Amino acid sequence: MAFIAGKNSGVLFGAFDLTSYFNSLSFSKETNAISTTMFGDDNESYISGIESASLDLSGLFDGGTDRNDEELSNAFSVTTSTPLSVFQNGTTAGQPCVLLDSKIQNYTIDSSVSEAVGVSSNFTGDNFGRGLSLYALTNTSATANTTAVDFGSSTTFGGQAFLHCTAHSSANIAVKLQSSADNASFADVTAGGFTAITGTTSERIAPTGTINRYVRLVITVTSGSATFQVSFSPNKK
């Protein structure tokens, strides 16, 4: 068994890399149990109901521009969801991650005379999934097909992919997903293209239909460069 050091965890929130401002995270997924117990039954019985997920982050306060206090405070004024990706072992392609199309629920600042000022926040989301990184957070300036990541099996239920772009220089970069059953012959994934990167941004897309076990990116650079990361989570049902 390969254990992972918690210090390698990472946090991408919208167009920002907030990894260096947090030191603890906790992801929780739940399914409510619906009772189907009837008169005459000797034992309780249940069926699975609605799934939900939440993510807790805590760390240290930084009040600078584009730091955790500004971004978490601003999240309350946004009516749409924000892509939130957390990584257990860095953003290198093939490493595990949790994707949450997030809505912030609370943000707390804690001060103590004997400790550094701390922050904590909680997020829920409409769409969540466990996935793998397809592309590490990297400054990119050249067109390329990335090395495919093996998801172990195909899905016929589509999935979701997150892109986080944290920096750019006059960028115009297209990014799309392709998949393959044999890691040799690749085809575009239906609805698998992101909006072209022309600035700092984040985006969630929901590819549909069959996505084969090997998934890669096609990156087409028209101009400039950008620092971005992409992950994919296949739907199981």
Domain boundaries, the chain: 9-30+52-234
pLDDT less than 70: residues of the chain: 1
* DSSP state at residue 194: P
Unique residue bearing structure tokens 């939900």: 52
pLDDT at 16: 97
Sign of the alpha-carbon torsion through 209, 210, 211, 217: negative
The per-residue pLDDT for range 11-31, each reduced to its tens digit, is 999 999 999 999 999 999 888
Specify the residue for token string 């939130």.
84
Provide the pLDDT for residue 111: 95
215 within 8 A of 224, measured Cβ to Cβ: no
- Residues forming a β-bridge with 203: 163
Residues of 126-148 as b/e, b for ≥16 C-beta within 10 angstroms? ebbbebbbbbbbeebeeeeebeb
